[in-house]
């Protein structure tokens, strides 16, 4: 997971909410929501950080489960996330993200930086974890983000290895000054010209912050 800056809701949703009997399933312009979420999240799944290239590949997720919301609450754009559709046809133990979460509550909050800062990674395996037990359960159990079948730990490690390789090629070992690391962090954490973040951005930011504060 990674920190997400929430934007304004689509105009079409604002207009629809003014209708007398507005409800989430009745909103016909959900592609407007999907597109807005893709742009906010840099075309990444809010949970596993896999690439989502098109709105058709994105599911609208409610941070607070819809089963616990009334019809007005379910239309609240500020609690909506964009998540991937991967793994939905797998056995439950091999599912991840919202399909594995079902209706469980979460402690980790992607819109609060201090909450995201609770996330840690195992550098040699790519596994995601936390010293905060509730967040650890969110990541490892509820969202199943260390699922080996989905290759998420391996993919995160590969992204981290690519970052390390990039730094090593650009700068000699021992010359990784604070200025250089901040410059690299800015490069790796900004969206590209297509509005996309780098895949698995969370582990990259974690590693660079770790080096900056070491």
Query: Which pLDDT value is given to residue 158?
Result: 98
Cα 44–Cα 48–Cα 53 angle in degrees, nearest 5: 25
Query: Which pLDDT value is given to residue 88?
Result: 75
- Cα 10 vs. chain centroid, distance in angstroms? 20
Query: Which pLDDT value is given to residue 89?
Result: 82
Query: Which pLDDT value is given to residue 214?
Result: 80
Query: Which pLDDT value is given to residue 80?
Result: 99
The dihedrals phi and psi of 143, each to the nearest 5 degrees, come to -95, -15
Residues 6+ apart with CB under 8 A from 84: 45, 47, 48, 50, 52, 57, 58, 59, 97
CA-closest candidate to residue 130, choices 144, 118, 117: 118
Which two tokens mark 161? 């290895």
Pairwise CA distance, residues 125 & 147, whole Å? 12
CA-closest candidate to residue 189, choices 175, 206, 164, 174: 206
- Cα 29 vs. chain centroid, distance in angstroms? 23
Query: Which pLDDT value is given to residue 173?
Result: 67
Query: Residue with structure tokens 């391996």?
Result: 154
Would you say 207 and 159 are in contact if contact means Cβ atoms under 8 Å apart?
Answer: no
pTM for this structure? 0.95
Complete DSSP assignment for the chain: -------PPPHHHHHHTTSTT--GGG-S-HHHHHHHHHHHTTSB-TTT--B--SGGGEEEEESS-GGG--TTGGG-GGGEEEEE-TTTTS-GGG--HHHHHTT---S--TT-HHHHTTEEE-TTT--EEESSHHHHHIIIIIS-TT-TTTTHHHHHHHHHHHHHHHHHHHS-TT---HHHHHHHHHHHHS--TTS-PPTTHHHHHHHHHHHHT-
214 residues of the chain, pLDDT tens digit each:
999 999 999 999 999 999 999 999 999 999 999 999 999 999 999 999 999 998 889 999 999 999 999 999 999 999 999 999 977 788 999 999 999 999 999 999 999 999 999 999 999 999 999 999 999 999 999 999 999 999 999 999 999 999 999 888 877 766 788 888 999 999 888 999 999 999 999 999 999 999 998 8
Query: Which pLDDT value is given to residue 152?
Result: 98
């Amino acid at each position: 997971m990674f920190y997400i800056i929430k934007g304004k809701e689509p105009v079409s949703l604002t207009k629809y909410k003014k209708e007398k009997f507005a409800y989430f399933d009745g909103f016909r312009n959900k592609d407007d929501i999907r597109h807005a979420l893709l742009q906010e999240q840099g075309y990444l799944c809010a949970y596993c950080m896999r690439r989502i290239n098109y709105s058709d590949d994105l599911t609208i997720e409610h941070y607070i489960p819809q089963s616990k919301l009334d019809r007005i609450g379910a239309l609240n754009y500020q609690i909506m996330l964009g998540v991937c559709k991967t793994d939905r046809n797998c056995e439950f133990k091999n599912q991840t993200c919202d399909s594995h979460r079902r209706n469980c509550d979460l402690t980790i909050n992607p819109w609060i930086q201090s909450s995201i800062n609770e996330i840690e990674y195992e550098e040699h395996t790519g596994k995601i974890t936390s010293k905060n037990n509730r967040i650890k359960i969110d990541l490892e159990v509820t969202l199943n983000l260390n699922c080996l079948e989905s290759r998420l730990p391996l993919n995160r490690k590969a992204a981290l290895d690519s970052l390390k390789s990039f730094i090593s090629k650009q700068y000699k070992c021992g010359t990784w000054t604070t200025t250089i690391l901040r410059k690299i962090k800015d490069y790796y954490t900004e969206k590209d010209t297509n509005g996309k973040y780098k895949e698995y951005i969370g582990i990259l930011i974690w590693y660079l912050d770790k080096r900056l504060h070491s």
